[in-house]
Structure 1
Amino acid sequence: MTTDKALEPAAEAALIAKLKGVTTATLTTVLLKKGLRNVWIRGAFPLTPDLPRLVGRAFTLRFVPAREDLATPASWSAPISTRAAIEAMPEGCICVTDAMGITDAGIFGDILCARMVKKGVTALVTDGVVRDALGVKGTGLPVWCAGVAAPPSVAGLTFVNWQEPIACGGVAVFPGDMIVADEDGAVLIPADLVEAVTDEAVEQERLEGWIMTQVDAGVPLPGLYPANAENKAKYEAFKAAQKA
């Protein structure tokens, strides 16, 4: 479950800075060691190449299947709408949208994405698709999604709420969970585990960096990856020398 405990801004910024140096692949391994297997959001891939690794707290949106009396163009002006949800997004968040994996109705187009940029939203992550692809790319909003489609959201979806638990790409996402997204997709870190996972992941990245130097030097993999006692001792000596 998500915690209501908020970190001080400086502590939050430090966490995010550390996580920007950790791959989603490493995070899935660290989370697996903690018993969490279902943290990679299926269907969410970078819409454009060469996006930087991005990190932010989840701001959740939820769609359900289209119902003809509710999923209408008129609904876009309703108090419960994607427009209203965007206005509630805080700077720095990552918008995580449950589109039920529907790929023939675009949840956002260029105008909504442009507004998210003005709001300071870090990125959009969804198991659905976007529309107005060229325009969306032009806004500069980093997007992880399942592709593009011309029809609007109401062609296949009904928007129902924001900032509640959702299922995005088969993953349970709670508001305030941490999202890390890179070329391998988007990974969730439960809010209560963010600090512990970050520390372990940073150390794992450091260890694997050292292992790569050994591989480059021609060291065989058995006993190196994973490291046996001898190589762990060599790694600890390496760390000590780095601090000296």
Structure 2
Amino acid sequence: MTNTTDFSDETRDKLRGVSTATLCTALFKRGLRNQFIQDVRPVGQVGKTMVGPAFTLRYIPAREDLNPIEVFRDRAHPQRKAVEDCPPGAVLVIDSRKDARAASAGSILVTRLMQRGVEGVVTDGGFRDSPEIGALPFPAYHNRPSAPTNLTLHQALDINVPIGCGDVAVWPGDILVGDGEGVVVIPRAIVDEIANEAVSMTDYEDFVLERVQGGASILGLYPMTEARHLDDFEVWKGAKFIDRT
């Protein structure tokens, strides 16, 4: 079972305030180059940034003699069980083998996840009923719309095991962050330090953007290679802190 109790509200709040782009750079500094889930995008409009630990579901290619529509009568069917077992605050992450020709799930299952307090859902395949899912106040990410039932191509096999989603390895408990650009996967062991660094990076990027909007050159400023900009940044941060209080 995904452990959500050791993921602090403080870290979650920090991650809600930074972009996936900034997080990717912070991860790259630690040698992690492939943490952004490929070819996955928001189903609808993005409101609050999605942040939560991964709870996984793995599909394999369907075999017709083992995957008839009657399998849904089984209360322990892995897809149904994943929807009912995914903990509140977690993100259901689905390995659909990057195949959107059949749906990973539809609006009823996604609505059930929302009602249970799950943080969001991500698949590297597609969702059916995508217009309805896109209208929900619930973070959902997929490759593209897909009407056929998952049974035609996908066979649900495992819950909460390491998976691949959009060419990224996802381990249960890894922290997923999703915004308007997509979804990044942060290894659980370093999430606190990544969150802290991303907040600092975001502050500096805000400072840089303000200067660039005022006509400043990026040379020496972004990245910072001239010490004078550090002094200016410290003054800017001090003024920002005063404004907040």
TM value normalised by structure 1: 0.92
Question: Identical aligned pairs, as a percentage?
Answer: 36
CA deviation map 1:109-151 (0-9, x unaligned)? 1211121112111111110101122333354432110111111
Unaligned 5+ residue runs, structure 2?
A: none
> Corresponding residue for 2:82?
85
Q: Structure 1 pair 214/134, CA: closer, same or farther in 2 (3 Å)? A: closer
Which region of structure 1 is more displaced relative to structure 2, 230-239 or 214-223?
A: 230-239
Q: Structure 1 pair 37/152, CA: closer, same or farther in 2 (3 Å)? A: same
Give, as a single letter, the amino acid of the residue that structure 1 aligns with 2:13.
Answer: A
> Corresponding residue for 1:233?
231
Alignment of 1:134-173 (within 5 A): 134-173=131-170
Give, as a single letter, the amino acid of the residue that structure 1 aligns with 2:63.
Answer: R
Matched, 1:221 2:215: no
Alignment of 1:184-223 (within 5 A): 184-223=181-220
Q: Structure 1 pair 191/236, CA: closer, same or farther in 2 (3 Å)? A: same
Which region of structure 1 is more displaced relative to structure 2, 120-129 or 130-139?
A: 130-139
Determine if contact 2:175/2:186 at 8 Å carries over to the other structure: yes
> Corresponding residue for 1:42?
38
> Corresponding residue for 1:55?
51
> Corresponding residue for 2:101?
104
Determine if contact 2:58/2:157 at 8 Å carries over to the other structure: yes
CA distance in 1, matches of 2:208, 2:158: 46
Determine if contact 1:123/1:143 at 8 Å carries over to the other structure: yes
Task: State the superposition RMSD in angstroms.
Answer: 1.8
CA deviation map 1:130-176 (0-9, x unaligned)? 11223333544321101111110011111001111000000000111
CA distance in 1, matches of 2:56, 2:238: 43
Alignment of 1:107-118 (within 5 A): 107-118=104-115
Which region of structure 1 is more displaced relative to structure 2, 103-112 or 127-136?
A: 127-136
Which region of structure 1 is more displaced relative to structure 2, 222-231 or 139-148?
A: 139-148
Matched, 1:126 2:123: yes
CA distance in 1, matches of 2:12, 2:241: 23
TM value normalised by structure 2: 0.91
Unaligned 5+ residue runs, structure 1?
A: none
